[in-house]
Structure formats: structure tokens, C-alpha cells
Amino acid sequence: MTRIGDFDLCERLSPAIPVWVTQVGVALLTVLGAKIVRLVFDIVAGGAAPFALIYPAIMLATLFARAFAGTLTATIMIVYIWYFIYPVERSFRFATSANAFAVAIVIVTAIMTIAIAELFRRTARRATQARDREIADRDLFLAEFDHRMKNNFAIVAGLLDLQKRRASDPATVQALETAQMRVDSIARAHRHLYRGTGQPGTVEISAYLSDLCAALAESLFLQGGITLSCDSDQAAVPRDRAVSIGLVVNELVTNAAKHAFPGRDLGTITVTLRNKAEGGWRVTVADDGVGMPKGAALPGKTSGLGSRLVEAFARQAGGTLSTESDESGTRVVMKLES
């Protein structure tokens, strides 16, 4: 019903076109449309039910251009039919008292139809205005929530950075850097969630992964011959799954940057996300490094914090992991069902 409130032509065209001009125009167009339909009906059943099209015509005119347009439509159609068709052609005379009673009934029912249509139009308009107010209030709330969340992420990232600067143990510094990148990954997913694009509660994964890879390349100091590329299909992914996907990519790219290219100045890390034909997505993080040493923990095995985190994030996303590694590089695939 609220959609009817969006079709007030008088309001849409004003002030470029005066309201009364819009109402007269709608009335005339409605009468013309009814006349065309009447001609088609007359081919099948000539002269039957001459007043039948009055009610849908005045209903449409009233809903789209208010009561005056409906009244004008009813007046034109009733006078035209009364004079040219019913009951005596080209005359306002009545052949019998029953004819006069029939025209009176048409007039009364036309007035009732206009009143009902106008009441419905106003109710729909009020519902539309209430909906618009609710949307405005929701947008204001989301903007405030977004602002507060950004501040919270910034505070957490700042505290981690402060601790990292004060730490002297290399292992502690590295752990704090890793934690900082994980917080940044979640923060970026949040920013993409509240950009107002895509379906509510979802993240456009292509833009999110591109943004995340650019930040990882900068934070991991990937430059020169070591490059990170990202290629993703367009997909609206639910917020929680998008965060988990980002965390998996964060861990795998970080591991590849640190361990895949020892003593090498050239290398490529590739992140891809593809829509599966049967539904869901396939996320791949691959490198052309030296491969994983024999006996090393693969994602999905319960050995090593990084591997356990990748496994936990993948499970949280509802995905399954598979890993291939040899002297030509490592390829980790996470398959997610829709």
C-alpha cells in the first residue's frame, strides 16, 4: 500500500506544472483511455453496460491525481454517456423513471468511489511518510553507530601500535603487528558494510578484497619484485562470512609474504574469489614461492597458531580448506556454499 503514496503526480510535477493542470490532464487522459477501452468492448458487445468503465477510471484518476481529478473524470464520463448514449441518444431526457433512477445510482456510487479512493490515497500517503521518517531515523542511527565503531577500531589499532613501539622483543613486535592487521581486516569489512551499497547486511566482496589486499601490500612492505594481486567476482556476501573470508585471506597472505620467498627478490601472491556455478564461492590464495617444507603444518591441521586460526576462520565462514604445495609454490583453496 505504501507504494501508492509514491505516485502522487501532483506532488511530483509541482511546481514545474501547477497542480490543477496536472489534475485536468490526468482526468482527460483517463477519459480518453476509458473511451478507447469502450470502443474495444463495443466490438464484442455493443452498447452493453455503458457506465461500467466509470468506476475504474475515476479510481485511477483519484489515486494518481487526487479527488479533483476523479471528480472531473466522473463528471465528463457521466455527462457524455448520459447525453450521447443513455437512455436517449443526444438528449438528457429520460425515457422512463427507471432510467433516471439508474443515472442517480451511478452518480451516487461514483461519489462513493471517489471518497473511498481518496481515503485510501491519503492513508497510503501517511504510511509512506511514516516509512520515510523511519528510514531517516534508521540512517541516522546507522551513521552514528558507524562513527562510533570506526572510533573503537581506531582506538584498538592505536593501542596495538603503541604497544608495538614500546616492545623490544622481535617476537612481541611481530605478534602485535599481526594482531593489528587482523583488527584492520575486520575494520575494513565494517566500512564496506556501511557504505550503503549492495543488499542490507552484506558486503560487496570484490571491493572489500581489493581494499584489503592493497592494505596488506602496504603493511607487509611488498614492493619491488614481490607483488600481491587480487581478482574477485562481484558478490554480495553476508557480513559475518565476509569478515571471516577477510581474516583467512589476511592470514594466508601474511604467511606467504613471510615464508614463501626466502632469499628471493621476485615472486607473486594471488588472491582470487570466484562465484561457483552451483552457488557459493571459491577463494584461492596462491604463491609461486619455494613451497612448504615437508612436515610443515598445513591449514586445516591442528599445529601452529597461524594454521589453527586459518582453520577456525574458515570454519566460521562455513568453508572447507584444501592445500597444495610443492617446489613451484603453495595454493590454498577455501570452498564456501551459499
The answer to whether the beta carbons of residues 251 and 298 sit under 8 Å apart is no
Residue 71, all three cell numbers: 471528480
Q: Tell me the per-residue pLDDT of 32-52, one tens digit each, with 9 for 90 and over.
A: 999 999 888 888 777 778 888
Map out the domains of the chain with their CATH numbers: 4-134 (no CATH), 197-336 (3.30.565.10)
- Helix spans in 18-96 (H): 19-44, 54-84
Q: Tell me the per-residue pLDDT of 178-204, one tens digit each, with 9 for 90 and over.
A: 788 778 777 777 777 666 555 667 888
**CA torsion sign, 242 to 316 to 212 to 165?**
positive
pLDDT of 65: 93
pLDDT band at residue 301 using 50, 70 and 90 as cut-offs: very low
The answer to whether the beta carbons of residues 270 and 231 sit under 8 Å apart is yes
Whether this prediction's pTM lies above 0.75 is answered by: no
Per the model's pLDDT, the better-predicted residue between 179 and 55 turns out to be: 55
Q: Indicate the helix (H) or strand (E) that contains 163.
A: helix 97-166
Could you give phi then psi for residue 234, rounded to 5 degrees? -75, 130
The answer to whether the beta carbons of residues 252 and 244 sit under 8 Å apart is no
**Of 312, 329, 328, which is closest to residue 255 (Cα–Cα)?**
329
Helix 19-44 to helix 54-84 angle (10° resolution) is 70
User: Looking at the predicted structure, is the pLDDT value of residue 250 above 80?
Assistant: yes
Total Cβ atoms within 10 A of residue 236 = 15
User: Looking at the predicted structure, is the pLDDT value of residue 283 above 50?
Assistant: yes
Q: Tell me the per-residue pLDDT of 93-135, one tens digit each, with 9 for 90 and over.
A: 888 889 999 999 999 999 999 999 999 999 988 888 888 888 8
